[in-house]
Structure 1
Amino acid sequence: MGPVDPENYRRASVLQGDRSYLQAPSWAMVKPDWGSELLAWRDAAGQVLGTALVLYRRVPGIRRCFAYLPEGPDIDWRDPNLDRWLDPLVDHLLAAGAFAVRIGPPPPLRRWHADTLKAAAGPALRIGDVLPDLVEPIGSSVGDRLRSLGWRRMGEDGSRGDAQPRFVFQVPLQGRGLDELKASLSSEWRRNLKKAERSGVETRIGDASDLPTFYELLKTTEQRNGFNLGRSLAYYERQYRALNAEEPGRMRLYLASHGGEVLAAHTMNVVGRRVWYQTGASANHRRDVRPSHALQWRMLQDAHKLGAEYYDMRGVSDCLDPSRREFGLLRWKLGTRGEVVETLGEWELTLSGVVNKTLHHAMQKYR
């Protein structure tokens, strides 16, 4: 394996299924504080078999770095001999000066239908306390293989958790018509969609000039819900510019207005036939006209038109306790009657050498 140019990297995006937007070449432009490299696995004839975007975080003052592959690499995770893929990657990163590497294997691990979790919700419960509707055999097998190769799952043994969400919410779209999809929504969701329609809520796709409006609404949302993503307006402007320069329409900004005022704004990312709802924001007033429901239905319809297998609503908490604030977002997404998917999470490996082990331990303590 070795470096690959961006054009050949992009052409290989469907080898193992459309890759995550976090593995698109443009994502490196969103993270200017990290170095980056595009890598490819090739066969004897030079054909690309798998790819990876690697982000490097340098340690000040020394020629060592931490390597991170968010939601990657994009390889054949069904291969029972994962060392054929991961050993060359580790060798390359070691030569590049990495003391440790973190990966995010894409295969899902377990799935819970919305109805299963709504019925199970109760005090102090977590999603992991509920018997899943499906255990994915490939995901389970990959986890076992990674452990046998010396990788450690983040969050285990008291280590820090994942950088990307371990639990995501997906609405299956494949083989379903829009009428069927709408009919499957919860009665509350259907009522709210009718309320938005009767109230005259209008939805549209915006452009870069609408990002300041989105950002002001996001700050309002963070304050209302008690969280802070820690991202600036410049971050979203950079992401919008980089992703859409790579492929027009890769990042889309949806806005919902009532009486000429924007009340909600959500971002969506598209890579091939994969679609993600990334960030949502809404005003504190006129919430009764349900602008966010109208926006999500518009985005679901667009994902369906794009031929997406799933509409990925990204991360949710694993909290099933209705008295806890973090359950609120999950409850809202459960109304789409989709499913919670537990991913394999992120895994780290300390690269061989006493110095590397010392640096990795120091980094973990610092974090």
Structure 2
Amino acid sequence: MTFRLRAISCDEHLAFIKDRPSVSHMQVPSWGDVKPDWRAESLGWIDETDRIVGAALVLFRPLPKLKRYLAYLPEGPVIDWYAPDLERWLEPMLAHLKTRGAFSVKMGPPVIVRRWDAETVKDAIADPRAGRLRDVEASSCEPRAFDVADRLRRLGWQQGEVGGEDGFSAGQPRYVFQVPLAGRSLDEVQRGFNQQWRRNVKKAEKAGVKVVQGGYEDLPAFYEIYKETAERDRFIPRPLAYFQRMWTALGAEDADRMRLYLARHEGEVLAAATMLTVGEHVWYSYGASTSRKREVQPNNAIQWRMMCDAHELGASVYDLRGITDTLEESNHLLGLLRFKVGTGGQAAEYLGEWDFPLNRLLHKALDLYMSRR
């Protein structure tokens, strides 16, 4: 017997999320308000007792000139991914989305496949024979995740590509770096840092770097150095309005959902970052830094303050988000990976994003369009 699926209210959705230790920040109802180009809907899986046992935020993106949609569930849905009868969850979802005009469904199961500890990643970076993280023996594996992948393939789902030359996927990051906080004191967390990280945190403190929480009015200051970061690191920046919308939408749902941190030295903002919280999971979301005064180490200072605050909030994990899978020295993202590895955390590989073509012709046309972008 499959579950029933129906649209649920934001309040029902939030109530379900509050009972979960970890749900992606892209699976909360307010995330739909952050994406005005998409139409959002909250869905609930209902059991025989009329209880909500799963939930999802679905974003619908229309095809130009057609009333057909790509249905996207970023880092979702929030269901029992290890259930032996996965079709009981996914078949009613596909049937519902088809009635909503979806021609293709894309989802990102929040299932971790493998982990590499910091020392393993560090050794791999130093090894000229290690071209990609995915080819390095993992420190631990989740066998059930491979079973999930097999079941999805049997059900007709297609796994997306791992990503381009830098290892980042076109959607959400498949490889991330996380610092475990559960059961650890802040002293233990800091002792897990490498020597350079501990030295830089102390150097920033000695130099007088002050990290403070900002507000909506500080977003333009963040944005100025975010644009500088985008030019330096070769990515296309989002507009200021995007971050203002994020602040307003997420804050209206939960006052602590989004925070802004600023690292100041002698009155000048040298680094800034946004932090997102859902349950026991805290993410470093967007970061920015100027090239000025790097010697006072504002980036280490701001990350340490955010880890401390995440620990105080009762977080079990501090998530530094995406990392590159490519370990070659020529990769311009390798420096960012080294920075994150210095925290002593773990690299983690998710199952990646999966597609189900409800209309194969339109799905193929979308693939062709995306490949030419």
Structure 2 residue 243 is the aligned partner of structure 1 residue 240: no
Provide the secondary structure at the position in 2 that maps to 1:18.
Answer: coil
Provide the secondary structure at the position in 1 that maps to 2:82.
Answer: coil
- Is the 8 Å Cα contact of residues 169 and 339 (structure 1) preserved in structure 2? yes
- Is the 8 Å Cα contact of residues 115 and 349 (structure 2) preserved in structure 1? yes
Quote the Cα distance in structure 1 between the aligned partners of 2:360 and 2:214: 48
- Is the 8 Å Cα contact of residues 16 and 50 (structure 1) preserved in structure 2? no
Question: CA offset at residue 157 of structure 1?
Answer: 12
TM-score (norm 2): 0.94
Quote the Cα distance in structure 1 between the aligned partners of 2:131 and 2:315: 32
Question: CA offset at residue 43 of structure 1?
Answer: 1.1
- Is the 8 Å Cα contact of residues 150 and 349 (structure 1) preserved in structure 2? yes
Question: CA offset at residue 18 of structure 1?
Answer: 2.7
Provide the secondary structure at the position in 1 that maps to 2:305.
Answer: helix
Aligned to 1:144: 150
- Is the 8 Å Cα contact of residues 322 and 328 (structure 1) preserved in structure 2? no
In structure 2, the CA distance between the partners of 1:326 and 1:95, relative to structure 1 (3 Å rule), is: same
Q: Which amino acid aligns with 1:248?
A: A
Aligned to 1:218: 226
Quote the Cα distance in structure 1 between the aligned partners of 2:300 and 2:139: 27
- Is the 8 Å Cα contact of residues 180 and 317 (structure 2) preserved in structure 1? yes
1:236-275 matches, within 5 Å, as 236-275=243-282
Aligned to 2:363: 360
Once structures 1 and 2 are overlaid, which stretch shifts more, 11-20 or 275-284? Answer: 11-20
Aligned to 1:287: 294
1:47-86 matches, within 5 Å, as 47-86=51-90
Quote the Cα distance in structure 2 between the aligned partners of 1:156 and 1:180: 34
Question: CA offset at residue 305 of structure 1?
Answer: 1.1
Aligned to 1:130: 136
Provide the secondary structure at the position in 1 that maps to 2:53.
Answer: strand
Question: CA offset at residue 162 of structure 1?
Answer: 4.0
In structure 2, the gaps of 5 or more residues are: none
Structure 2 residue 113 is the aligned partner of structure 1 residue 109: yes
Quote the Cα distance in structure 2 between the aligned partners of 1:179 and 1:105: 34
- What is the aligned length? 361
Percent identity over paired residues: 49
Q: Which amino acid aligns with 1:130?
A: V
Aligned-residue CA RMSD (Å): 1.5
Question: CA offset at residue 358 of structure 1?
Answer: 0.8
Quote the Cα distance in structure 2 between the aligned partners of 1:62 and 1:261: 50
Provide the secondary structure at the position in 2 that maps to 1:349.
Answer: strand
Provide the secondary structure at the position in 1 that maps to 2:315.
Answer: coil
Deviating beyond 4 angstroms after TM superposition, the runs of 4 or more aligned structure 1 residues are: none
Q: 1:303 aligns with which of 292, 310, 318?
A: 310
Q: Which amino acid aligns with 1:181?
A: V
Quote the Cα distance in structure 2 between the aligned partners of 1:132 and 1:103: 25
Quote the Cα distance in structure 2 between the aligned partners of 1:324 and 1:93: 39
Quote the Cα distance in structure 2 between the aligned partners of 1:265 and 1:94: 42
- Is the 8 Å Cα contact of residues 21 and 279 (structure 2) preserved in structure 1? no
- Is the 8 Å Cα contact of residues 16 and 76 (structure 1) preserved in structure 2? no
Q: 1:171 aligns with which of 170, 179, 188?
A: 179
Q: Which amino acid aligns with 2:270?
A: L
Provide the secondary structure at the position in 1 that maps to 2:150.
Answer: helix
- Is the 8 Å Cα contact of residues 15 and 49 (structure 1) preserved in structure 2? no
TM-score (norm 1): 0.96
Structure 2 residue 192 is the aligned partner of structure 1 residue 188: no
Q: Which amino acid aligns with 1:330?
A: L
